[in-house]
Structure 1
Amino acid sequence: MTGGRELLWDGCVNVRDLGGLGQVRPGAIVRMEAPDRLSEAGWAAAWAYGVRTVVDLRNADECGPDRAPRPTGITTVRAPLDPVGTPFYEHWEKIDNLGSPLYYPALLAEHPEPVIAAVRAIAGAAPGCVVIHCAGGKDRTGLLALVLLTLAGAAPEAIIADYLLTYDRMKQRYDELGARDQLTAVTEVLASHDTTIEASLTSTVASLTMPGFLLGNGLSEPELATLRNRLLA
């Protein structure tokens, strides 16, 4: 159930507000796949919803041209979440191509800096709704959403349900690419490591002390206060 959180922005299929999960207020944070395919009407809907900042979690070489121009009042902030070129990345690329929740705890422990940079981009954004996205809106977006939702006191069950929605919403896109069913593929990867999507996400949430994780990795008290003012009802 999405409780009316799903948004219909023409051109994209995986757009939803995090409001109503934990203490997150509606209109604060929207998660989605890359907005490159938004039509002019889609961007107009995003603007009308209050979007003024887009935080892009992709690497530079993943970014292509937009189908329609972004409104001039929307600021795009690049905050790549994958530590490309590191031993960590090379290790996890072989395990799950950084395409499942399996790598979340290791990234949070070994490379918290890009996560904090993305959180800082949200905290410091101009007034208005903030969109967070990667390519498919699943794992990098899912990891950042997990961090924000844990701070906001969302139950693990709600975080898991929100994460799983993307597999259904993006199925048509993956089918168009001729890709294997992603839920089946990721489930099998986790099973080979004796866990499940649900267990992996639950474990990550349980290990994430808030706001200690943010403050202990460089977010300042004023930034935390600003973030809470933006996110929380």
Structure 2
Amino acid sequence: MTDAFIDIPGVRNFRDAGGIGALRRGVLYRSGSLHTLTGEGARKLKDLGLRTVIDLRSPFELEVWPDQRHGLDHETFNLPTLPANRGDLDRPWPEGQAELYTFMPETAGPSLAAVVRRLAAPEALPVIVHCAVGKDRTGLTIAVLQSLLGAPDADIIADFLLSNLGLGLNEGPAPYIDETGTERISRPVSAELLASSLGWIRTHHGTVPAYLHTHGITEADLDALRANLSA
């Protein structure tokens, strides 16, 4: 599955999310942010026919690290996976990686519903879905989309784990500077992490479609999504 990676200069962890389930290649890409996109990278994105970028980061992250366009003509949608402010929660923000993966599906419903609606529109494709490095928030979002297109969990998780290779985390954790200027540690993802997110969805809602229904997605929306993304 490593042939999914595409070299886009200035963009980390860029790859095609298709090729599993009914999701066809060439319509849905996943990556880290475009804030260091180079002119050459922009030309390669243009060659892919890019029409839409869905940015899952917080408004503050966008302010600090805005995506670069280099003249690219595409629509951008900011659909944050996580609450913009820690004060928006009535309980502590998760500090550990394991806690994050059960927290995300609890808060990401509105973002995921908006992503589904956008990708159901034929004029949206091809699309890039990204967060900061394309690992956690992007990992959950792409997993939900792949699940809706009939991909089995084993294939979804195998694709998810490619972020370790794409980010150089296959050899262990690595330090990074976050949007506030604080040094943090980026840790590899594991199969158990994504399984816990999908498990949270199924425990609380039964199925991924039922989870999305609670956030306003209709069967017609899902049918349109599948028709648009299917091979």
The reply to whether TM is greater than 0.5 is yes
Q: Within 2, Cα distance between the matches of 1:36 and 1:130?
A: 17
**Aligned-partner SS, 1:159:** helix
Distance in 2, Cα, partners of 1:102 & 1:121: 29
Give 1:78 deviation, angstroms: 1.1
Contact 1:55 1:122 in 2 (8 A): no
Q: 5+ unaligned residues in a row in structure 2: which ranges?
A: 178-182
Q: What residue in structure 1 maps to residue 42 of structure 2? A: 43
Q: Greater CA deviation, 16-25 or 161-170?
A: 161-170
Q: What RMSD in Å do the two structures reach over aligned CA positions?
A: 2.6
Moved over 4 A (4+): 174-179
Within 5 Å, give how 1:87-126 maps onto structure 2.
Answer: 87=89, 91-93=92-94, 95-96=95-96, 100=97, 102-109=99-106, 112-124=109-121, 126=123
Q: Is the 8 A contact 2:161 2:191 kept in 1?
A: no
Distance 1:103 1:175 in 2: 18
TM-score (norm 1): 0.79
Distance 1:105 1:151, change over 3 A: farther
1:182 is matched with 187
Query: Where do 5+ consecutive residues of structure 1 fail to align?
Result: 187-196
Partner of 2:82: 82
Q: Distance in 2 between the 1:181 and 1:11 partners? A: 19
Identity %: 32
Which amino acid in 1 is paired with 2:7?
Answer: L
Q: Deviations over 1:151-190 (max 9, x none)?
A: 1122222222222221232238x5575754522xx6xxxx
Q: How many residues align?
A: 214
Structure 2 letter corresponding to 1:62: E
Please give the residue correspondences for 1:14-33 in structure 2 after superposition, counting only pairs within 5 Å. Answer: 14-33=13-32
Aligned-partner Cα distance in 2 for 1:169–1:220: 35
Correspondence for 1:199: 192
Q: TM-score, normalised to structure 2's length?
A: 0.80
> What are the within-5 Å matches in structure 2 for residues 50-65 of structure 1?
50-63=49-62, 64-65=65-66
Secondary structure in 1 aligned to 2:35?
Answer: helix
